[in-house]
């Protein structure tokens, strides 16, 4: 089949995010001006540069008590800081709880029963049991096409890695066990790994 998005896909469910898949999940923690901790998953997320290390996530749509955007975007625009926590397979249910559309004064860490840990380089809380976390300073918010689409870019200023996922100085992906987002309501995690050397290596 072929479709032009402007004309509609004609399928029971939008296939777009089942095509761009699997996606990593950035579990974004941020803090409001009043000191309220916030946590939510964003799968329009990725790393975009090595030196200095930079990441991005995209906020799409609005929520009733926050327009434009969502709590994460609003907090990050105000504070200039955020932390990207990695969701392990073991934390999948807690991640799902934090995706609910809660009022801005709800602490999703508490709602999902997650242990908190302080960040080192930013005034923000991170998920203590995440296998890794990237502390970030906001560099840019880019307004995208459409009603409420925003690209948030940040520079990584601190990196946490759970020592338990390190083997011989490298991250063991099976121990790291990141949850990935597929299309629709589907998720996956990595159970098999293979390596390839590039032609110039």
Ligand X SMILES: Cc1cc2nc3c(=O)[nH]c(=O)nc-3n(C[C@H](O)[C@H](O)[C@H](O)COP(=O)(O)O)c2cc1C
By CB under 6 A, is residue 125 in contact with ligand X? no
Judged by CB under 6 A, the residue of 52, 61, 103, 118 near ligand X is 61
Among 4-12, 34-42, 136-144, 164-172, which window interacts with ligand X (CB under 6 A)?
A: 34-42
DSSP-derived secondary structure for 132-198: EEEEEEEEEEEEPSSSSEEEEEEEEEEEEE-GGGEETTEE-HHHH-BEEE-STT-EEE---------
**Burial level of 23, CB count in 10 A (0-12/13-18/19+)?**
middle
Strands 125-127 and 132-143, by their bridges, are unpaired
Among 95-103, 114-122, 133-141, 161-169, which window interacts with ligand X (CB under 6 A)?
A: 95-103
By CB under 6 A, is residue 160 in contact with ligand X? no
Cis preceding linkage at 68, omega within 30: yes
Judged by CB under 6 A, the residue of 38, 85, 88, 177 near ligand X is 38
Q: How far apart are the first and last CA of the chain?
A: 39
By CB under 6 A, is residue 154 in contact with ligand X? no
The minimum distance between CB 61 and ligand X, in angstroms, equals: 6
The minimum distance between CB 38 and ligand X, in angstroms, equals: 5
By CB under 6 A, is residue 71 in contact with ligand X? yes
Reference 134, options 43, 55, 50; nearest CA is: 55
By CB under 6 A, is residue 135 in contact with ligand X? no
**Nearer to ligand X (CB atom), residue 63 or residue 137:** 63
Judged by CB under 6 A, the residue of 29, 31, 43, 86 near ligand X is 43
What gap in Å lies between CA 178 and CA 130, rounded to an integer? 10
What gap in Å lies between CA 86 and CA 25, rounded to an integer? 7
The minimum distance between CB 31 and ligand X, in angstroms, equals: 12
Residues that bind ligand X (CB under 6 A): 25, 38, 40-44, 58-61, 63, 70-72, 96, 99-101, 181
């Amino acid at each position: 089949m072929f479709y032009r998005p402007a004309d509609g896909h004609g399928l029971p469910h939008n296939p777009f995010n089942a095509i761009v898949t699997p996606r990593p999940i950035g579990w974004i923690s941020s803090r409001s001006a009043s000191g309220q901790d916030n946590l939510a998953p964003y799968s329009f997320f990725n790393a975009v540069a090595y030196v200095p290390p930079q990441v991005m996530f995209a906020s799409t749509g609005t929520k009733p008590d926050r327009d434009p955007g969502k709590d994460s975007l609003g907090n990050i625009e105000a504070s200039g800081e955020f932390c990207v926590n990695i969701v392990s397979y073991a934390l999948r249910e807690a991640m799902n709880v934090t995706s609910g559309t809660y009022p801005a004064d709800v602490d999703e860490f508490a709602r999902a029963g997650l242990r908190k840990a302080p960040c080192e380089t930013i005034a923000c809380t991170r998920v203590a049991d995440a296998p890794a976390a990237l502390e970030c300073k906001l560099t840019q918010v880019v307004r995208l096409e459409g009603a409420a689409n925003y690209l948030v870019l940040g520079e990584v200023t601190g990196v946490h890695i759970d020592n338990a996922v390190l083997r011989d100085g490298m991250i063991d992906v099976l121990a790291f066990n990141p949850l990935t987002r597929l299309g629709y309501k589907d998720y996956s995690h990595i159970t098999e790994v293979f390596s390839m050397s590039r032609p110039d290596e």
